[in-house]
Structure 1
Amino acid sequence: MKKTHFIGLTFLAFSAVANVHAEEKRYISDELSTWVRSGPGNDYRLIGTLNAGEEVTLLQSNENSKYGQIRDAQGRTTWIPLSQLSEQPSLRSRVPELEQQVKDLTAKLANIDGSWNERTAEMQKKVAGSDDAINSLKEENQQLKNQLVVASKKVDAANVQLDDKQRTIIMQWFMYGGGVAGFGLLLGLLLPHMLPRRKKNDRWMN
């Protein structure tokens, strides 16, 4: 009877010092292993160990002893110092995940680098094509300028030849006009001498 009464008092004492709350996930800190006990304090016996990074469920915590009651993956219910629990997975357990993230990021960077190189090569091709087009246009422009110079010289030469022909034609007209006038004058001077003269006595005789 006394033993039963003692167990009841002990349970009530635990209930008074323990803060019961909803189950929460926790992780064993990054130590290689940690001891778990049968009760919320260093006076309780050790009943096993848990590995670093192992996921457990926090059932309740004792604020006086700073211990928490946990349930591990094997279903065992034990107590462990709250300082050895973490809300985040341990670095040891996150290493494979981090390594995978690093691999994924490396692959993405490689894809980005490859895509960037392709875009850069395309841009360089376009720039080179633009340079070729610009050089071609420059050459064509220069050829047109040369043709324009040649055409201008030909026009100037044609104008000179036209002026010479006009002067020649004008001189020829002057010569023709002068010749006609001279011939007319000469004809006017010679014609009276060429016609027969009538005698003045013929009028008196009639």
Structure 2
Amino acid sequence: MRLLTFLVGLMVVGLPVFAQETSDSSAATADHYIADNLFIYMHSGPGRNYRILGSVEAGLPVAVLETNTEKGFTEIRDPDGREGWVESQYLIDTISRRTQLPLLSQRLADSEQQLNRAQSRTAALNKELAQVKQQNTQLQAELNQAQQSVTALQQQVGDQDAQERYRMFSYGGIVAGAGVILGIIVTFIPKRRRRNDNWM
């Protein structure tokens, strides 16, 4: 009876050592996460029959210290520095939704800030565009007025040139007519006789 008790005691003590010897060692990495929507127990050894050290919440990043593929357990270190064994099926190598949530929230906040800045910039550009359009309209109106003034001045100059040419033509006709009349009058004026200085 004592021998049987001694053998059972040896098996209980030697089982964790044997399990650790058959485990696959790997470097500690922090790129694994506890699967979402659950929490798992952390054991002191690679099996459910080992003492429970505590629980690990879903989504927490953990560092993988060692993996026992035969037992399906992995030794991890949680963010609090605790080390223990958890079932490998509950470990994932993609970032958990719990970790993604603050990152996505920050990205969303950054995107909203960028959108607000872009909207503010767009509003400022639209305001500047409206001012430029208004200035363009005013300049176009001023240009139309200037063109109308130039056209009116050109018309006035043309009218003055026509009047001046008509005046000069009239003056020329008057002078020419006066010359003709004067010539006719001169022809009818009798010539004075010369005095004959040779008197006998």
TM-score range, shorter chain: 0.7 to 0.9
Quick check: 1:38 aligned with 2:44? yes
Cα distance in 2 between the residues matched to 1:87 and 1:20: 18
Cα distance in 2 between the residues matched to 1:4 and 1:75: 31
Question: What SS is found at the alignment partner of 2:191?
Answer: helix
Q: 1:19 aligns with which of 14, 17, 24?
A: 24
State the Cα RMSD in Å. 2.9
Match of 2:87 in 1: 81
Match of 1:62 in 2: 68
Larger radius of gyration: 1
Q: 1:96 aligns with which of 87, 96, 102?
A: 102
Query: What displacement does 1:90 show?
Result: 1.9
Aligned length: 192
* CA deviation string 1:134-176 (max 9, x = no partner): 2101111111101111221121121111111111111111112
Cα distance in 2 between the residues matched to 1:56 and 1:12: 25
Question: What SS is found at the alignment partner of 1:187?
Answer: coil
Match of 2:119 in 1: 113
Gaps of 5+ in 1: none
Query: What displacement does 1:73 show?
Result: 3.2
Q: 1:170 aligns with which of 173, 176, 190?
A: 176
Match of 1:135 in 2: 141
Shifted more, 21-30 versus 76-85: the winner is 76-85
Question: What SS is found at the alignment partner of 1:170?
Answer: helix
Identity score, percent: 20
Distance 1:64-1:70 versus aligned 2 partners, 3 A rule:
same
Query: What displacement does 1:49 show?
Result: 1.6
Shifted more, 34-43 versus 154-163: the winner is 34-43
Shifted more, 77-86 versus 116-125: the winner is 77-86
Query: What displacement does 1:106 show?
Result: 1.1
Shifted more, 161-170 versus 75-84: the winner is 75-84
- More helix by proportion, 1 or 2? 1
Cα distance in 1 between the residues matched to 2:79 and 2:156: 98
Gaps of 5+ in 2: 1-5
* CA deviation string 1:7-27 (max 9, x = no partner): 5676355333x2212110122
Cα distance in 2 between the residues matched to 1:119 and 1:157: 56
